Amino acid sequence: MSAHHQLLGVSLDADRDTIKREYAKRRVALEKSSRIPDTERASMIADLDNAYRALNPQPGVTGTKAVPLYESKDAPKVMSAAGKKALMALTAFAALGIVGYGYWQFEEKKRIEREQIELDRIAAEQRAARLAQEEELRKAAALREIEERRLAEEERLRQAQLAREEEMKAEKYVARQPFVPRVKTNAELREERAERSREAEQQFRTALENRVDQIRSEREVARARAEVQRQQRFVDQSQREEDVAAQQRARAALNAERRDQRANSTPPR
């Protein structure tokens, strides 16, 4: 291996593009190095330029004058101080933008949660009011039904009493005896009224217990549905946050890949 190839770190059969790429890398590394003294670094850069010119001669150029890296079409461009400051400012602005976007997402999530809690509270109040109104209507309907049954039973007993009196009257008429209708005593009437009251009260209690059981089951179902909806909202919100994070990661990876491609791209010939 010749001294020029060894200085550039390439093999004897290296092509023009490989020589150009290795030369650009070593030239940039030497210029950015702060551990080498200036005089020694200038000498090393001159040797590197001479080796590159010897292995990659430019048509129409004679002599041994080193080609400055920033004037050579084959060397990559190095960012100036102003460009570095602009890049740092852009990076800081991008970081602030990312932080601001994250804070906005956090506040938006909190706002959505507060609105959802308020909507759930309003819905629960409306549902409770509706259930109370339905309960009052059912109680009124049960009382009306019990009263109608009581009146119907009293009417049936009265009709049965009248029919019995008619039968007794016919029997007495056939036997040519005077008809004396049987009149119930006050004790019997009180006993009948008490019995009807007990039956009506028992029916009302049964209907009320059935309704209470039904309301409890409906509330359990409503509570289960509300829990399922809350869990579904939490899953949807988590999925949206994961999608946003995935998009951000993909965008950051794409930007990093583009920066790497620009940094490792072959300089134009």
CA dist 153 and 220 (Å) reads 39
| pLDDT reading at 72 higher than 50 | no
Q: What is the DSSP code (8-state) at residue 10?
A: -
38 or 73, higher pLDDT: 38
In the structure, what pLDDT confidence band is assigned to residue 58 with cuts at 50, 70 and 90? low
Pure H helices in 175-185: none
Question: Most confidently modeled of 34-38, 45-49, 78-82, 85-89?
Answer: 45-49
pLDDT at 79: 54
Mind listing the pLDDT tens digit for each residue in 207-229?
999 989 999 989 999 988 888 88
pLDDT at 173: 53
Mind listing the pLDDT tens digit for each residue in 241-252?
988 988 888 888
In the structure, what pLDDT confidence band is assigned to residue 60 with cuts at 50, 70 and 90? very low
φ, ψ for residue 267, nearest 5 deg: -65, 150
| pLDDT reading at 161 higher than 70 | yes
In the structure, what pLDDT confidence band is assigned to residue 57 with cuts at 50, 70 and 90? low
Mean pLDDT in the chain?
80
CA dist 14 and 100 (Å) reads 51
CA dist 87 and 177 (Å) reads 129
For residues 74 and 61, the answer to whether their CB atoms sit within 8 Å is no
| pLDDT reading at 62 higher than 50 | no
Q: pTM for the full model?
A: 0.29
For residues 56 and 16, the answer to whether their CB atoms sit within 8 Å is yes
175 or 252, higher pLDDT: 252
Structure tokens at 143: 């009382």
What average pLDDT does the segment 167-178 reach? 60
| pLDDT reading at 76 higher than 70 | no
| pLDDT reading at 178 higher than 80 | no
What average pLDDT does the segment 49-54 reach? 88
What average pLDDT does the segment 35-43 reach? 82
Mind listing the pLDDT tens digit for each residue in 22-37?
899 888 888 887 777 8
Q: Which of these, 70, 85, 83, lies nearest to 27 by C-alpha position?
A: 70
